[in-house]
């Protein structure tokens, strides 16, 4: 029977549905048809496959060829099905054996010469292939990316002839193995920032619990430097976290990250659109908030962003994912990022000094860019003051303070305590879990009641304050947060720096 079936994988957000490539050769005038909801790039594979087969010294069947990509209700796009189609045609024409095709999945673009080329969204396909128990045959340039999936047998090849030799059992392809995980060292030192001990302390607390933080202060006080150092004190990602981040970058068409174990740090310009942040397009792709998954999203000059753009962050900050809806389909991308923002206190940046030249109207318009609900979702609101001139003129010979590596170690230990205690870091706790890990004494209840009345804390603000206090206690190695921990946590709820 002139029928062969091979397996491949499609693209659907961060999912990779299984696609059966059914190839049938029948009598009649020579023709080559692809059915099953293929887009233009898939239809063009006919010419690539024909040339690749001929230039690899195989015989291209002079028969009526019908290729069905099933299931037909899933849109097919890209050149990822080239290799599966070519293998199906060779198997249907008895030029390669059919008996073991069910053990493999084929994903690669074909050059006219028969060379195998890389495709995007390979990591999600590799994960699903591993779940199916098959081996994955792909281009050598995609091998490192697919080999991130543990227990998956990755067979990398550079030419169609290598795949044919493997299926004939003449020259087997050895499974690809990548190097083991290495330790990630901080790229920038936190102690290089002169002074700003209060802000450094806030950054360490934010890193410990995964809390969102905003830095407000005059120009040139080191806000951007501080924010850029946060990634250096965050613990390295675990293997599942690294694979999740790599999968998002793969779907976005960015290939394999250079350092897959370091947490992503995304810093879009304030002219970025809402779609650039959350993702979208006719075929939805992840935006900046998803590319920052398990890492840091840094928004410098926060009020300069359009208010509409900032408001789209409200739901992802709470839920940790973003649902992009289009007429054809809905796609959900993960977005558990840590927001770090920086801003000036007014348009000119010198509010409260003789330098300030902002009118009341300008100040009101500036502050209205940031809505109350958005600010309520930011756990740590830190005022960054100017640096003393003596510290600038007489900097220490040896940088003062702890190294980022030492702080990173302390943060990692505190996070391990959180995972052991509750199975997640503090920022992801719900209200019931917060009450369990932050039992309030009568004195602390009275103190929090006074604080809620004075600062007009919302219910969300109350629980976020408890989470920050829990992170401070974790840094100290305390089982239960103390009253002093709640004092410090509340000191970060007012961006003007007022204390209780």
Both tokens of 139, joined, read: 């281009």
Q: What pLDDT, on the 0 to 100 scale, is given for residue 498? A: 41
In sequence order, the β-bridge partners of residue 68 are 22, 35
What's the whole-number mean pLDDT along residues 40-69? 95
Q: How many angstroms separate the first and last alpha carbons of the chain? A: 83
Taking the model in full, what pTM does it have? Answer: 0.87
User: pLDDT tens digits for 190-234?
Assistant: 887 877 888 999 999 999 999 999 999 999 888 999 999 999 899
Lowest mean per-residue pLDDT among 253-267, 333-347, 416-430, 456-470: 253-267
Question: Would you say residue 120 has pLDDT above 50?
Answer: yes
Rounded Cα distance between 309 and 327, Å, is 22
pLDDT bucket at 328, cuts 50 / 70 / 90: low
Q: What is the pLDDT of residue 187?
A: 60
Residue 398 has pLDDT above 60, yes or no: no
The whole-number pLDDT of residue 499 equals 38
pLDDT tops 70 at residue 331: yes
Directed axis angle between helix 197-209 and helix 459-476, to 10°? 100
Per-residue 3-state assignment (H helix, E strand, C coil) for 411-459: HHHHHHHHHHHHCCCHHHCCHHHHHHHCCCCHHHHHHHHHHHHHHCCCH
Average pLDDT over residues 105-113: 97
154-199: pLDDT as tens digits: 999 999 999 999 999 999 999 998 765 555 555 678 887 877 888 9
Domains of the chain: 3-167 (3.30.230.10), 190-388+398-428 (3.40.50.300)
Q: What is the mean pLDDT of residues 62-90?
A: 94
Report whether pLDDT(396) > 70: no
Does 372 score more than 80 pLDDT? Answer: yes
pLDDT value of residue 416? 94
Highest mean pLDDT, choosing among 157-166, 243-252, 260-269 = 157-166
Looking at residue 419, its pLDDT comes to 95
φ and ψ at 9, to 5 degrees?
-135, 140
Q: Quick: pLDDT tens for 442-473.
A: 999 999 999 888 888 899 999 999 999 999 99
414-433: per-residue pLDDT in tens? Answer: 999 999 999 999 999 999 99
- Sequence-distant (6+) residues with CB within 8 A of 481 are 438, 466, 469, 470, 472, 473
Q: What is the pLDDT of residues 306-324, one digit of tens each?
A: 999 999 999 999 999 999 8
Q: Which residues have CB under 8 Å from 87's CB, separation 6+?
A: 4, 6, 96, 101, 106, 163, 167
Average pLDDT of the chain to the nearest whole number: 90
For residue 204, give the nearest of 374, 380, 336, 335 by alpha carbon.
380
Give dist(CA 226, CA 292) in Å, integer.
Answer: 18
What percentage of residues in the chain have a pLDDT greater than 70?
Answer: 94
The string of pLDDT tens digits covering residues 8-31 is 999 988 899 999 999 999 998 999
pLDDT of residue 73: 86
3-state SS string for the chain:
CCEEEEEEECCECCECCEEEEEEEEECCCCEEEEECCECHHHHCHHHHHHHHHHHCCCCCCCCEEEEEEECCCCCECCCCCHHHHHHHHHHHCCCCCCCCHHHEEEECEECCCCEEECCCCHHHHHHHHHHHCCEEEEEHHHHHHHCCCCCCCEEEECEHHHHHHHHCCCCCCCCCCCCCCCCCCCCCCHHHCCCCHHHHHHHHHHHHHCCCEEEECCCCCCHHHHHHCHHHHCCCCCHHHHHHHHHHHHHCCCCCCCCCCCCCEECCCCCCCHHHHHEECCCCEECHHHHCCCCEEEECCHHHCCHHHHHCCHHHHHHCEEEEECCCCEEEEECCCEEEEEECCCCCCCCCCCCCCCCHHHHHHHHCCCCHHHHHCCCEEEECCCCCHHHHHCCCCCCCCCCHHHHHHHHHHHHHHHHHHHCCCHHHCCHHHHHHHCCCCHHHHHHHHHHHHHHCCCHHHHHHHHHHHHHHHHHHCCCCCCHHHHHHHHHCCCCCCCCC
């Amino acid at each position: 029977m002139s029928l062969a079936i091979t397996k491949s994988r499609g693209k659907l957000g961060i999912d990779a549905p299984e696609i059966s490539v059914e190839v049938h050769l029948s009598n009649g005038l020579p023709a080559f048809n692809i059915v099953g909801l293929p887009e233009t790039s898939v239809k063009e594979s006919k010419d690539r496959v024909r040339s690749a087969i001929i230039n690899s010294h195989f015989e291209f069947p002079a028969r009526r060829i019908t290729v069905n990509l099933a299931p037909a209700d899933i849109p097919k796009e890209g050149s990822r099905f080239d290799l599966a189609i070519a293998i199906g045609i060779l198997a249907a024409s008895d030029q390669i054996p059919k008996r073991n095709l069910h053990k493999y999945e084929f994903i690669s673009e074909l050059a006219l010469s028969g060379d195998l080329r890389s495709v995007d969204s390979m990591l999600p396909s590799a994960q699903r292939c591993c779940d199916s128990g098959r081996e994955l045959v792909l281009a050598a340039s995609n091998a490192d990316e697919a080999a991130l999936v543990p227990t998956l047998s990755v067979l990398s090849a550079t030419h169609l002839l290598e795949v044919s030799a493997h299926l004939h059992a003449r020259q087997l392809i050895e499974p690809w193995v990548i190097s083991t995980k290495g330790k990630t060292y901080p790229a920038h030192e936190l102690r290089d920032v002169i002074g700003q001990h209060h802000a450094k302390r806030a950054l360490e607390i934010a890193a410990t619990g995964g809390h969102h933080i905003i830095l407000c202060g005059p120009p040139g006080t080191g806000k951007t430097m501080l924010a850029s150092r946060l990634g250096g004190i965050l613990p390295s990602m675990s293997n599942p976290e690294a694979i999740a981040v790599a999968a998002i970058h793969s779907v976005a068409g960015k290939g394999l990250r250079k350092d897959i174990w370091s947490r992503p740090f995304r810093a879009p310009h304030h002219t970025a659109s809402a779609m650039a942040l959350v993702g979208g397009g006719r075929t939805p792709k992840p935006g900046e908030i998803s590319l920052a998954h398990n890492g840091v999203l840094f928004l410098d000059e926060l009020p300069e962003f359009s208010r509409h753009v900032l408001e789209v962050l409200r739901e992802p900050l709470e839920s940790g994912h973003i649902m992009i809806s289009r007429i054809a389909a809905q796609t959900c991308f993960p977005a558990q990022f840590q927001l770090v923002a920086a801003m000036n206190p007014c348009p000119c940046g010198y509010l409260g000094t003789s330098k300030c030249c902002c009118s009341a109207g300008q100040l009101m318009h500036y502050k209205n860019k940031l809505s109350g609900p958005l600010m309520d979702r930011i756990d740590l609101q830190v005022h960054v003051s100017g640096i003393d001139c003596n510290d600038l003129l007489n900097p220490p010979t040896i940088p003062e303070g702890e190294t980022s590596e030492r702080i990173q170690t302390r943060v990692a230990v505190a996070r391990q305590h959180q995972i052991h205690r509750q199975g997640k870091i503090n920022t992801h706790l719900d209200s019931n879990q917060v009450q369990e890990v932050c039992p309030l004494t009568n004195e602390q209840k009275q103190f929090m009641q006074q604080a809620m009345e004075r600062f007009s804390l919302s219910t969300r603000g109350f629980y976020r304050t408890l989470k920050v206090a829990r992170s401070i206690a974790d840094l100290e190695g305390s089982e239960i947060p103390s009253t002093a921990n709640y004092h410090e946590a509340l000191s970060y709820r007012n961006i003007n720096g007022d204390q209780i």
